[in-house]
Amino acid sequence: MMVKRMKKQYLSDFTSKYKPTKKAIDLVNDILKQYDSRYSEPWSMQTMVAGFIANDAISIKSEKLVEPSESEIPDHRGPQKDLKRIASRLLKDRGFSVDGCEVRIRGSVADMIASNKGKRIIVECGPCRIDKPVDYLEIPNTILWVLKRLDERTFMLYEFTRGKRWKEFVRMKQKEFENLQSSYDRIMEDI
């Protein structure tokens, strides 16, 4: 009974702290999950990321692009190879060099990583785990790109960057994690 009560209170506190909007939750589903059922993370994770977006802790820019011809872009292997090819071309055109594909970073696998003069772009080609924007933007001088195919020749590029309230929301997230760990420890003591 105590666990159930703590969980209900935690979820209520979580929502009141992050203050996600329906629009931000819809953005999370559309851009990150892309309505892919494989990405059904906990409600609290979706609330947190939507709260970062709704409260200008994360900024998102979008750009609709037409896929270049095959002769203009390098070949890639593995999952999402078409989107990786497009991302490679975009990165090159914008002065970045691709450092790797399917790279392990912060306990995840990024589809691509690129760099230029101390800046890093991490690219997700298609749907991804919901908390990646927050997780990756914690790395200094990092931008996250998420690509979404619209049809055979067009796609959207979403660029996630730190917003004006980034530091405030990261501190709140860290405090939430500490509180959650403390609650977990108390529950484990009762078992």
> Cα(163)–Cα(127) distance, rounded to whole angstroms?
22
Residue 25 has pLDDT above 60, yes or no: yes
Task: Please report the pLDDT score of residue 182 as a whole number.
Answer: 67
- What is the average pLDDT across 100-114? 93
> Cα(73)–Cα(65) distance, rounded to whole angstroms?
14
Task: Please report the pLDDT score of residue 86 as a whole number.
Answer: 86
Going through the chain in order, the beta strands assigned E by DSSP cover 58-66, 97-105, 108-116, 119-125, 142-149, 154-162
DSSP letter for 67, please: P
Residue 95: how many other CB atoms lie within 10 Å: 10
Residues 6+ apart with CB under 8 A from 95: 116
> Cα(102)–Cα(88) distance, rounded to whole angstroms?
13
Q: Quickly tell me which residue has 């392990």 as its tokens.
A: 104
Residue 60 contacts residue 27 (beta carbons within 8 Å): yes
Residues 6+ apart with CB under 8 A from 130: 28, 32, 33, 39, 41, 45, 46, 49
Residue 80 has pLDDT above 80, yes or no: no
Residue 100 contacts residue 113 (beta carbons within 8 Å): yes
Q: Would you call 141 exposed, middle or buried from its count of C-beta atoms within 10 A (0-12, 13-18, 19+)? A: exposed
Query: What predicted TM-score, i.e. pTM, was given to this entire model?
Result: 0.84
Residue 96 contacts residue 115 (beta carbons within 8 Å): yes
Candidate ranges 9-23, 128-142, 175-189; pick with highest mean pLDDT: 128-142
Task: Please report the pLDDT score of residue 23 as a whole number.
Answer: 95
Strands 58-66 vs 154-162: parallel, antiparallel or unpaired: antiparallel
CA-based end-to-end distance of the chain: 13
Q: Which residues lie across from 105 on neighbouring strands?
A: 108
Mean pLDDT of the chain: 85
